[in-house]
């Protein structure tokens, strides 16, 4: 993760001044928040140029795992280029629909020919800018992490003896309220989609972006 979904200034605007947490500390918390967000959603929210080879299904529409789709630069079926005017991209839903002029692929005009990785899609995927919900969730999680830095922690004997290196913090105490909380190590958080970010409000904001909830077909 090279950048963050919110800024140091966003955190300053929420009342965290440099005397409470310097820029390095805030950036560290922002990075952790981003890792947790990506683990929870099973995706990142950055713009990137990619080329994918996918199976044609004998239908007019082709669904892509990577969504949203910002722009399709090139589309090929069985090695043949499809003219830009012969397909429509439904970016948010993440699928391409042929609109005609493609009878060279099959006996049925406007249908992606069935095959194994016979469709090549080259374009831009992701988000031009993080959605507002993602930015707000990043801010809330960062504030939570900063708040926890002075909290009491219990780490098992088998784990590292500092909170920063621990695999998991099992219990924290904030404002005299002791709560159960599983705090994943960065590597662990990035390796599998999590059921919760650890903050209910962040879960609510991010819920619709979870990759496992996206429709496979329309």
Omega of the bond leading into 147 within 30 degrees of 0 (cis): no
Is the sign of the CA dihedral 93, 99, 105, 109 positive or negative?
Answer: positive
- Give me the pLDDT at residue 145, please: 93
Residue that has been written with the tokens 């390095």 in this structure: 24
Unique residue bearing structure tokens 């469709």: 119
Per-residue pLDDT of the chain (218 residues; tens, 9 = 90+): 458 999 999 999 999 999 889 999 999 999 999 999 999 999 899 999 999 999 998 999 999 988 899 999 999 999 999 999 999 999 998 999 998 654 454 445 678 999 999 999 999 999 999 999 999 999 999 999 998 875 434 434 333 344 343 333 444 444 444 444 444 444 344 445 568 999 999 999 999 999 776 544 33
- Rounded CA-CA distance 51/44 in Å is 17
Q: What is the pLDDT of residue 162?
A: 41
pLDDT of residue 167: 34
Phi first, then psi, for residue 2 (nearest 5°) are: -90, -25
Calculate the CA dihedral of residues 181, 185, 187, 189 and round it to 10 degrees.
10
Handedness of CA 147, 203, 30, 184 (dihedral sign): positive
Give the pLDDT confidence score for residue 186 in this predicted structure: 43
pLDDT of residue 2: 52
Measured distance CA(56)–CA(62) in Å, rounded: 7
Q: Taking Cα atoms as reference points, which of 116, 65, 56, 66 lies closest to residue 87? A: 56
> Dihedral of CA 54/60/66/69: which sign?
positive
CA gap 88, 36 in Å, rounded: 34
How many residues are there in the chain?
Answer: 218
Place of tokens 């090549």: 120
Query: Where are any strands of DSSP class E within 80-150?
Result: 80-81, 87-90, 95-98, 119-125
DSSP state of 150: T
Q: At what angle do helices 132-148 and 23-41 cross, to 10 degrees?
A: 120
Burial class of residue 134 in the structure, from the number of CB atoms within 10 Å of its CB (0-12 exposed, 13-18 middle, 19+ buried): buried
């Amino acid at each position: 993760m090279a950048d963050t979904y919110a800024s140091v200034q966003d955190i300053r605007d929420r009342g965290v001044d440099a005397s409470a947490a310097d820029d390095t500390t805030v950036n560290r918390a922002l990075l952790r928040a981003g890792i947790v967000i990506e683990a929870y959603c099973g995706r990142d929210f950055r713009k990137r140029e990619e080329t994918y080879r996918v199976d044609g299904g004998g239908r007019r529409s082709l669904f892509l795992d990577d969504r949203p789709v910002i722009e399709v630069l090139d589309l090929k079926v069985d090695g043949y280029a499809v003219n830009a005017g012969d397909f429509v991209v439904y970016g948010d839903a993440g699928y391409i629909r042929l609109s005609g002029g493609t009878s060279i692929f099959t006996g049925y005009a406007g249908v992606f020919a069935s095959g194994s990785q016979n469709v090549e899609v080259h374009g831009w995927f992701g988000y031009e800018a993080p959605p507002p919900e993602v930015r707000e969730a990043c801010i809330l999680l960062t504030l939570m992490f900063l708040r926890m830095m002075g909290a009491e922690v219990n780490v098992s004997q088998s784990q590292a003896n500092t909170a920063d290196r621990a695999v998991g913090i099992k219990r924290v105490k904030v404002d005299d309220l002791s709560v159960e909380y599983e705090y994943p190590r960065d590597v662990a958080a990035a390796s599998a989609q999590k059921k919760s970010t650890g903050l209910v409000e962040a879960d609510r904001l991010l819920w619709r972006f979870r990759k496992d909830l996206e429709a496979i077909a329309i």
